[in-house]
């Protein structure tokens, strides 16, 4: 397909057709939700005014999108240039991830047509006011950071170079903004001291949310990067991916130390020995998302193999999802007589948004110089050797 002088490619495959079907069905459900409201299209009620969307689409989505600001910070602020080939896919994934959050919020709001209110009606004491502004500003930063890829596509290399020269101040701004809203989503839960189980309710939630967003965002980025290189028949720089995971055990160790110290200080450690749903969920969250992957990724012999690296980062992502659901849904103390279980339409609407984002990522990777260095030079002019004799490249 041609748009002006540009030729766009998007060949249909069984996977893409399936994603398009999910997107189409879910979009129809979203239109139905806008037409009839939250009542008929969700299982939300007065006792449970939020549910699946907040836990999955907002809290989890923001955390898993954190790899963009971490990688940008590593490359442009700490000058770890070997990770520069990963920057464009990570920024695109972060940009689309934050759009997922925005679309989920649009669907989740009782009055979606008022989504613009935070920018004009300032509520200085509202946590969500700060989050709304930070997410919006960070989306603007991501747009500018990714713009050189679009400019290169239309052969505006001089303008792309000009934007690239402003990378450092942009990344500094993006890092500050990301730090604010990643932690503030933890602060949001502090307004519910009687609703959230003491195992998760702590003044340290903002810091815990921030640290977990760093190591889970990097883990999710590793999965996306590997999938991108493989899907487009490019040699996977596996050793670089393994190097990117090298610092994760340290971050997870800091997170675990703060978590256990906080539980001890509040006298909650004995609660972990009780066989109840809350303690079991906490054990699952810590073991699956922190302890086991931390051990796996600590050993170079495991981290430098595909099964070891994948096991580690997948467990981190699963643990992060469980943590966000625990802190915003599963860990709620049922003080009301009305139960909650997500309606199939709630899940379907989320599936449509996720399918749309995946399709957008595929289309961008198909048509933009996503895996190429500046001015179209291949980032793999000097391919990296595979780890431990395992070939990770795919010939086109």
Condensed to tens digits (0 to 9), the pLDDT of residues 196-214 reads 999 999 999 999 999 999 9
Which pLDDT score is estimated for 1?
Answer: 57
- Residue 390 in domain: no
The number of distinct structural domains making up the chain is: 1
Q: Write the CA distances from 221 to 111, 165, 213, 248, 377, integer angstroms.
A: 33, 24, 12, 12, 23
Question: If you average pLDDT over residues 98-107, what whole number do you get?
Answer: 93
- Expressed as residue numbers, the domain containing 144 is 12-40+48-333+344-368
- Residue 338 in domain: no
Which pLDDT score is estimated for 372?
Answer: 66
Ordered alpha helix ranges (H), the chain: 14-36, 38-41, 52, 61-64, 67-72, 87-108, 127-153, 157-165, 167-188, 205-231, 238-244, 248-265, 277-286, 292-298, 300-303, 306-325, 344-367
Question: If you average pLDDT over residues 18-42, what whole number do you get?
Answer: 96
pLDDT at residue 56 greater than cutoff 70: yes
Tell me the per-residue pLDDT of 216-250, one tens digit each, with 9 for 90 and over.
999 999 999 999 999 888 888 999 999 999 999 99
Contact residues for 346 (Cβ-Cβ < 8 A; gap 6+): 41, 42, 43, 51, 52, 53
Percent of the chain with pLDDT over 70: 91
Cα dihedral value 348, 349, 355, 361, nearest 10: -160
CB atoms within 10 A of CB 127: 18
Can you tell me which residue has the tokens 């899907």?
231
- Residue 392 in domain: no
- Residue 362 in domain: yes
The CATH code of the domain that includes 153 is 1.20.1630.10
- Residue 349 in domain: yes
**pTM, to two decimals:** 0.89
CB atoms within 10 A of CB 16: 16
Q: How far apart are the first and last CA of the chain?
A: 22
Can you tell me which residue has the tokens 């409201």?
37
Average pLDDT, whole number, for the chain?
88
Question: If you average pLDDT over residues 130-150, what whole number do you get?
Answer: 90
- Residue 210 in domain: yes
pLDDT bin (cut points 50, 70, 90) of residue 390 is: very low
Can you tell me which residue has the tokens 């009606």?
121
- Residue 6 in domain: no
Hey, what are 145's tokens?
Answer: 């950071």
- Residue 276 in domain: yes
């Amino acid at each position: 397909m041609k748009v002006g002088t540009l030729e766009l490619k998007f060949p249909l495959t069984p996977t893409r057709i399936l994603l398009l079907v999910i997107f189409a069905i879910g979009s129809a459900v979203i239109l139905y939700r806008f037409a009839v409201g939250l009542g008929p299209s969700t299982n939300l009620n007065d006792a449970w005014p939020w549910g699946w969307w907040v836990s999955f689409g907002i809290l989890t989505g923001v955390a898993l999108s954190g790899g963009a600001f971490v990688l940008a910070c590593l490359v442009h602020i700490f000058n770890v240039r070997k990770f520069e080939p990963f920057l464009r896919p990570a920024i695109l994934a972060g940009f689309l991830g934050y759009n997922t959050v925005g679309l989920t919020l649009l669907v989740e709001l009782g009055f979606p047509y008022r989504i613009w209110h935070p920018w004009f009606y300032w509520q200085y004491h509202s946590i969500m006011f700060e989050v709304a502004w930070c997410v919006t500003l960070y989306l603007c930063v991501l747009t500018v950071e990714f713009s050189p890829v679009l400019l290169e596509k239309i052969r505006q290399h001089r303008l792309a170079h000009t934007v690239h020269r402003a990378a450092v101040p942009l990344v500094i701004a993006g890092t500050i903004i990301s730090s604010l809203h990643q932690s503030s989503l933890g602060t949001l839960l502090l307004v519910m001291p009687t609703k959230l189980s003491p195992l998760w309710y702590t003044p340290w939630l903002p810091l815990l949310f921030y640290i977990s967003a760093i190591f889970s965002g990097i883990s999710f980025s590793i999965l996306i990067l590997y999938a991108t290189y493989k899907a487009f028949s490019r040699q996977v720089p596996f050793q670089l991916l393994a190097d990117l995971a090298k610092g994760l055990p340290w971050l997870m160790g800091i997170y675990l130390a703060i978590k256990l110290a906080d539980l001890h200080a509040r006298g909650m450690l004995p609660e972990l020995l009780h066989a109840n749903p809350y303690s079991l969920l906490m054990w699952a969250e810590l073991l699956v998302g922190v302890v086991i992957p931390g051990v796996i990724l600590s050993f170079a012999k495991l981290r430098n193999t595909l099964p070891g690296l994948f096991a580690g980062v997948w467990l981190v992502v699963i643990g992060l999802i469980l943590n966000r659901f625990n802190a915003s849904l599963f860990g709620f103390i049922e003080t009301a007589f009305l139960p909650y279980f997500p309606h199939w339409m709630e899940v379907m609407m989320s599936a449509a948004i996720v399918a749309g984002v995946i399709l957008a990522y595929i289309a961008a990777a198909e048509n933009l110089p996503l895996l190429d260095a500046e001015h179209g030079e291949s980032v793999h002019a000097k391919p990296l050797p595979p780890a431990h004799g395992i070939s990770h490249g795919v010939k086109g």
